[in-house]
Chain A
């Protein structure tokens, strides 16, 4: 019965890193590739008619870029977005015109999304004029009344600066609705509003979804808001969807380690509540030099040890995080050596210092031997060799294979989870980059 309104297939949006013209000329001569920020890097999902989907994730995970691509404010670097079966990039002028009427966006900051030199009436009438739709006054009035700016006539000649924040966001919503769209992207629609006004605007958004039969993509970092507003939810991390599924399922029973940590971060209004919190350590990875394999591995609390190694989870995490930080240069052996008291060529002291700082857990047997061997090599100044020694024993599937957000055997329902902890339902040939892995289809 429901029709698929939007289909996103492997969407990628990369932004070139700004470089000076001298650097760009040197690159042209040397023949290197330009650095890009991987804002969105392979996102796939679909949206049914009348469905609300939440995109959640921390700042910089690519949710807004995804939302802007959905309404064709960005052209994708790769991948495809299809609106009712037609690719946005291949649309003819007429089809694009129809798409522009049917797809709208509500922006985060109502103080920025309204032209300060346009009156309320002109702001709302503008889309009508662009698309040459008649009955202007009546439509503007309806839209304003729907957004509870009443009596509408009283607002006609007001400029945005004469309105309060809540009224402005209602105005922005009325502008999005006046063309009678069937698909809306709402980018953090209430995060700039005073808490006391949020409920009102949220209920307006709910009413809008119901009465217009809209498909809405809500973008927010606020999980409780998305839980309230959305049928389905997709959790993003570093330009990827890590988990997607029914809102209730995902929130009450998160499977991906990142989703778990996000949900653990939502405060519970009960001081006596006893919870096992997963707290993330470390920083979000570099969006220019994206890590191989799973993007979350550097912070993952459940990183998978290689087969046949007996090791405590926490200890393994420590070794992995040491490896990754040594690899990307966060740990600099030279500066550690300089910090040494006394003799700088004292290998034992150097090793002790590193152990103090980075290894709090007891290691035993072969694990201990490998670490010791690596530290010894590191002390001799050969970082590459040390890394290799560690990788030989401790390299995990998480850094080799890039998991796709696809259905998993252990997880019931229609859920996509991008994590090696679970067996994929369809034994797809996951490659090093995971680009041609099976999409999270239903």
Chain B
């Protein structure tokens, strides 16, 4: 088999490939191939993930909330800040759910200000998921980029970036977010920005340590010998090897971001134009829903927050099994 391609001494085995008209292999389309490989990798990861029932349940929960967020305008019976009136023209305050003997047929009753709680709960999922997903993407993305650059180049670059991370670690999360939001104005975008600014530090640290060990691996040296640029090495050799870790930290930061948003909103610094689960809890507290025993006001948003956060953590934990095969049973 090899005899047919071996030639006289010193003659390249590739020599005839550059001649015009020589028989040509069909070129493999890089895009189609890449797509197929991605699909295979995703399939394999899903197979590992789906072995754990808790992870499957978490994914279903998260999908449920995503559907809820997308379909909120169609499902919600009222607007999120639409004041409801009873038949006699007064504002429908403190209505109980219809299945609890309340009047007006409200699924979860109304607030002290006459808003429909069920509609608020549906719209609230939008804020939570927007904050959670956007923050996760940027936290994981920025953290990974900073970590890779810092770890790969080392030296001064590493020193500068890691001192910045050290500085970030010195900032307490909630007080700083509150301060930033107070300065920039309470809007959802500002809140997301504040969360991103404060959360990328952890991802950057972890990815850097990975990059530090990866850059010494012989396959990076082999790429250098083949003439690869720094950019090529970072993108093709380092990034794919830290990607599972990026996903892991992304999944965890969904949970952290939602908790932070709820916390800030509960303290009264939420976006006044958008209802979130956190602002629902905040108004439940300020109108003393607890002493009115209006549990349908504060329990549903609390449960929703808990469910989304737990789902994020469980998916993250399931991902840990991929990044750290020793955890697999």
Report which A residues bind B (CB closer than 8 A).
50, 68, 71-73, 97, 100-101, 103-105, 107-109, 112-119, 121, 126-127, 130-131, 135-139, 141-142, 145-146, 148, 150, 156-157, 172, 175, 179-180, 207, 210-213
* Interfacial chain A residues near B17, Cβ < 8 Å: 135, 138-139, 142
Residues on A with C-beta less than 8 A from B5 are 142, 145-146
Interface range on chain B: under 10, 10 to 19, 20 to 34, or 35 or more?
35 or more
CB < 8 Å neighbour of A121 from B6, B28, B228: B28
Contacts of B2 in A (CB 8 A): 145-146, 148, 207
**Nearest chain B residue, comparing its CB with the CB of A147:** B2
Q: Which 3 A-B pairs have the closest CB atoms?
A: A213-B10, A100-B227, A138-B25
Asked if A172 meets B222 with Cβ closer than 8 Å, knowing A180-B14, A211-B7, A213-B9, the reply is yes
A136 touches B227 (CB 8 A): no
Cα distance, A132 to B28, chains bound together (Å): 16
For chain B residues 222-259, which have a beta carbon within 8 Å of chain A? 222-229, 232, 236-237, 240-241
Does any Cβ of A come within 8 Å of B27's Cβ?
yes
Nearest B residue to A106, CB-CB: B222
Tell whether, in the assembled complex, residue B10 and residue A175 are in contact, meaning their CB atoms are under 8 Å apart: no
Question: Which residue of A114, A145, A207 is within 8 Å of B219 (Cβ)?
Answer: A114
CA distance A189 to B163 in the complex (A): 41
**B interface residue numbers (CB < 8 A to A):** 1-2, 5-7, 9-14, 17-18, 24-28, 33, 36-37, 40, 217-219, 221-229, 232, 236-237, 240-241
Given contacts A115-B237, A139-B17, A142-B17, contact A104 B219 (CB under 8 A): no
Nearest-neighbor residue (CB-CB) of B220 within chain A: A115
Contact at B219–A179, with CB atoms within 8 Å? no
**Are A107 and B218 CB-contacts (below 8 A) given A137-B25, A142-B17?**
yes
Residues of A near B36 (CB, < 8 A) are: 157
Candidates B14, B33, B226; contact of A104 at CB < 8 Å: B226
A-B contact pairs, 12 of them (CB 8 A): A104-B226, A115-B241, A117-B240, A118-B236, A121-B28, A130-B229, A135-B27, A172-B222, A180-B12, A211-B11, A212-B10, A213-B11
The reply to whether B222 and A113 contact each other, CB–CB distance below 8 Å, is yes
Q: Tell me the smallest distance from the CB of B4 to a CB of chain A, in Å.
A: 9
Please measure, in the bound complex, the distance between the C-alpha atom of A405 and the C-alpha atom of B9, giving whole angstroms: 33
Given known pairs A50-B10, A145-B1, the reply for A138 and B232 (CB within 8 Å) is no
Cross-interface CB contact of B13 among A137, A175, A211, cutoff 8 Å: A211
Residues of B within 8 A of A113 (CB): 218-219, 221-222
Task: Give me 16 other A-B pairs in contact (C-beta within 8 A), A113-B219, A119-B37, A135-B17 excluded.
Answer: A100-B225, A104-B226, A105-B222, A107-B222, A126-B223, A126-B228, A126-B236, A130-B226, A137-B26, A139-B17, A142-B13, A145-B5, A157-B40, A211-B6, A212-B10, A213-B10
Contacts of A68 in B (CB 8 A): 221
Give Cα A172–Cα B223 distance, bound, in whole angstroms. Answer: 11
Distance to closest chain A CB from B219 (angstroms): 4
Complex contacts, A97 vs chain B, CB 8 Å: 227
Complex: A118 Cα to B11 Cα, angstroms = 30
A113-B219, A142-B13 known; A179-B7 Cβ under 8 A: no
8 Å CB contact of B27 from A100, A119, A137: A137
Smallest CB-CB separation from A73: which chain B residue? Answer: B221
CB distance from A123 to the nearest CB of B (A): 9
Nearest opposing residue in chain A for B238, CB measure: A115
State in angstroms the CA–CA spacing of A112 and B40 once bound together.
Answer: 23
Q: Which residues of B contact A105 (CB under 8 A)?
A: 221-222, 225
Does B224 lie within 8 Å of A73, measured CB to CB?
yes
Contact partners of B18 in chain A: CB under 8 A? 135
Is A139 a contact of B221 with CB atoms below 8 Å? Answer: no
CA–CA, A285 and B62, complex, Å? 64
Find the residue from B7, B227, B237 having the highest chain A CB count within 10 A.
Answer: B227
Known: A105-B221, A179-B226. A212 touches B12 (CB 8 A): yes
Given A104-B225, A136-B28, check contact A109 B218 (CB 8 Å): yes
Do B1 and A100 have beta carbons less than 8 Å apart? no
Chain A residues positioned under 8 Å from B28 (CB to CB): 121, 136-137, 156
| Contact residues in B for A175 (Cβ distance below 8 Å) | 222, 226
Known: A135-B17, A137-B26, A138-B24. A100 touches B218 (CB 8 A): no
B227 interface neighbour in A101, A121, A135, Cβ under 8 Å: A101
Alpha-carbon distance A100/B226, docked complex (angstroms): 6
B225 to chain A, nearest CB (A): 5
Bound: A172/B226 CA distance, A? 12
Q: Considering the chains assembled together, what is the distance between the CA atoms of A108 and B224 in angstroms?
A: 16
How far is B273's CA from A98's CA once the two chains are assembled, in angstroms? 62
Cβ-closest chain A residue relative to B243: A117
Residues of chain B within 8 A (CB-CB) of A211 are 6-7, 9-11, 13
Look across to chain A and name the residue whose beta carbon is closest to the beta carbon of B40. A157
Cα-based distance from A119 to B232 in the complex (angstroms): 17
Residues of A with C-beta under 8 A to B1: 145, 150
Partner among B27, B218, B222 whose Cβ is within 8 Å of the Cβ of A136: B27
Which residues does chain A contribute within 8 Å of B10, judged by CB atoms?
Answer: 50, 211-213
Q: Is the CB of A139 within 8 A of B14?
A: yes
Report B-chain residues with C-beta under 8 Å of the C-beta of A150. 1
Partner of A135, one of B24, B236, B237: B24
Choice from B25, B221, B229 contacting A107 with Cβ under 8 Å: B221
Q: Which of B7, B223, B225, B232 has the most CB of A within 10 A?
A: B225
Complex Cα distance, B12 from A179, in Å, reads 10
Q: Nearest B residue to A180 by beta-carbon distance?
A: B12
Is the Cβ of B226 less than 8 Å from the Cβ of A127? yes
Closest beta carbon of chain B to A355's beta carbon, Å:
49
Report the separation of the CA atoms of residues A119 and B28 in the bound assembly, to the nearest whole angstrom: 14
Q: Are A117's CB and B241's CB within 8 A?
A: yes
Residues from chain A with Cβ under 8 Å of B25 in the complex: 135, 137-138, 141
A169 to B93, CA, bound (A): 76
Query: Which residues from chain A contact B217 at a C-beta distance below 8 Å?
Result: 112
Query: Chain A nearest CB: distance from B36 CB in Å?
Result: 8
Of B9, B26, B219, B228, chain A has the most CB atoms within 10 Å of the CB of B219
Chain B residues lying within 8 Å of A212, measured Cβ to Cβ, are 10, 12-13
Give chain A nearest CB distance to B10 CB in angstroms.
3
Name which residue of chain B comes closest to A119, CB basis: B37
Q: Give chain B residues whose Cβ lies under 8 Å from the Cβ of A148.
A: 2
A18 to chain B, nearest CB (A): 13
Given contacts A138-B17, A142-B13, contact A71 B219 (CB under 8 A): no
- Which residue on chain B has the smallest CB distance to residue A131? B227
> A131 vs B226: C-alpha distance in the bound complex, in angstroms?
9
Chain B residues with CB below 8 A from A103, complex form: 225
How far in angstroms is the closest Cβ of chain B from A261? 31
